[in-house]
Amino acid sequence: MIKKKSSKRKLLLVDDMKEVHDKIIPDFLKAYDIDSAFTLQDALRKLKENKYDLVISDYNLSGNGNGEGIGVIRVAKERGYRALLMSTENHRQEARDAGATGFMFKKDVYKHAPKRY
Q: Where do the domains of the chain lie?
A: 9-116
pLDDT of residue 62: 78
CATH class of 9-116: alpha beta
User: pLDDT by residue (tens digit) across 4-48?
Assistant: 566 789 999 999 999 888 888 888 888 899 999 999 999 999 999
pLDDT of residue 86: 92
pTM for the full predicted model: 0.86
Angle separating helix axes 40-49 and 69-78, nearest 10 degrees: 10
* DSSP assignments along 37-60, one per residue: E-SHHHHHHHHHH---SEEEEES-
Q: What is the mean pLDDT of residues 70-78?
A: 94
